[in-house]
Amino acid sequence: MSALDIIGVRKTYGEIETLKGIDIALESGEFLVLLGSSGCGKSTLLNIIAGLAEASGGDVRIGGRSVLAAHPKDRDIAMVFQSYALYPNLSVHRNIGFGLEMRKVPAAERDRAVREVAKLLQIEALLDRKPSQLSGGQRQRVAIGRALVRKPQVFLFDEPLSNLDAKLRMEMRTELKRLHQMLKTTMVYVTHDQIEAMTLATRIAVMRDGRIEQLGTPEEIYNRPATLYVATFVGAPPMNLLDTVADGGRLVLGDNAALPLPQAWKDRVRDGRRLVLGIRPEALQLDAAAGPAISATVEVVELTGPELVVSASIGRQRIMACLPPRSRIAAGQRLTFAVEEDAMHLFDAESGLRIA
């Protein structure tokens, strides 16, 4: 069943068009991540779904029913924000159950619902404390608990983890994933963190400047980015982009460097066409037998722990490679990198679009 339909949604503030026609259809149980840099319209879209902002055009349907005319509290959604204001003078128990209390849910039933959610979030022992007696991560759990207890059709999250430190963020991320696997509720989650998007989403909508640049599974976004923008937004270090020109079955990279043009593209790419060759840092291998090879001169070597990040130059162009940590490499060294054909991404230099 279709859980959430976003149909041609637009939003204008005065002269400025913040959302330029967004279309997404979500099946029940999906975890959609809206990913994009600051100001691209993520929160605006979420707020329109929640009923906190008005759409200038288009429709939003929850469970097949248009909700644009419905009050936020009648939309069967629950939202968790980045700044989760808890009531400081109420216990954790009452904070979580506050919405139910407002709806005059009987105390015994409320208590059962609160305890069930607290168990799920592993904060049962904290129910009698005040928010000031909690850590940041525990407070965030309470905020999530307050949303969970309502058992909505759709959860909306707007950067719920961005106030937490790196370690806690990672823990809470895993926690959210576990929750989603258990509850199977439809979720829409806003972030500009590509790791969060990759790890949590069943589908990612990469947004840019009020539009969806690509909508796909994490695998599709990572392995077949539709545009140069998506290619560099997801992945760290980002995908290497090399300016190249097709010439006689080769991709010329400048000076004496070239790679054979993979067979799949031979019919699609005319000689002289300006292209961008994309290669992920982790796709560059030192095993010369692994595929066509290019030579590069090592400039900087950085050990991050799990991998060795090597910056190198091919003529005037720069690339980065993520290699096994025990590779013996030093600045100034000449290296030969092998690249498997299916690790090559080709984009039109002018339009930035992927060449299929």
Ligand X SMILES: Nc1ncnc2c1ncn2[C@@H]1O[C@H](COP(=O)(O)OP(=O)(O)OP(=O)(O)O)[C@@H](O)[C@H]1O
Report the interface residues with ligand X, using CB under 6 A.
Answer: 13, 18, 36, 38-44, 192
Q: Whole-number minimum distance, CB 12 to ligand X, in Å?
A: 9
Identity of the residue, 36 or 218, whose beta carbon is nearer to Mg ion in the bound complex: 36
The site partner of 320 among Mg ion, ligand X, none (C-beta below 5 to 8 Å per kind) is none
Q: Whole-number minimum distance, CB 85 to Mg ion, in Å?
A: 17
Spatial CB neighbours of 208, under 8 Å, sequence gap ≥ 6:
36, 37, 40, 229
Torsions phi, psi for 167 (to 5 deg): -70, -45
Distance CA 314, CA 304 (A): 23
Identity of the residue, 97 or 160, whose beta carbon is nearer to Mg ion in the bound complex: 160
Residue with tokens 């963020």: 169
Identity of the residue, 193 or 243, whose beta carbon is nearer to Mg ion in the bound complex: 193
How far is CA 102 from each of CA 94, 99, 159, 218, rounded to the nearest angstrom?
Answer: 11, 5, 26, 39
- Whether omega for the bond prior to residue 292 falls within 30 degrees of 0, making it cis, is no
Identity of the residue, 35 or 322, whose beta carbon is nearer to ligand X in the bound complex: 35
Structure tokens at 95: 């904070």
Identity of the residue, 200 or 251, whose beta carbon is nearer to ligand X in the bound complex: 200
Residues forming a β-bridge with 322: 309
Q: Whole-number minimum distance, CB 162 to ligand X, in Å?
A: 9
Torsions phi, psi for 311 (to 5 deg): -100, 135
Q: Whole-number minimum distance, CB 164 to ligand X, in Å?
A: 16
Q: Whole-number minimum distance, CB 86 to ligand X, in Å?
A: 21
Cβ atoms 354, 224 nearer than 8 A: yes
Q: Which of 239, 181, 190, 229 is nearest to 208 (CA)?
A: 229
Q: Whole-number minimum distance, CB 225 to Mg ion, in Å?
A: 23
How far is CA 232 from each of CA 83, 91, 221, 238, 240, rounded to the nearest angstrom?
Answer: 29, 45, 11, 5, 8
Q: Whole-number minimum distance, CB 9 to Mg ion, in Å?
A: 16
Identity of the residue, 42 or 345, whose beta carbon is nearer to ligand X in the bound complex: 42
Cβ atoms < 10 Å from Cβ of 44? 21
The site partner of 38 among ligand X, Mg ion, none (C-beta below 5 to 8 Å per kind) is ligand X
Cβ atoms 116, 133 nearer than 8 A: no
Torsions phi, psi for 334 (to 5 deg): -95, 125
Q: DSSP code of 67?
A: -
Q: Which residues bind Mg ion (CB under 5 A)?
A: 43
Identity of the residue, 30 or 159, whose beta carbon is nearer to Mg ion in the bound complex: 159
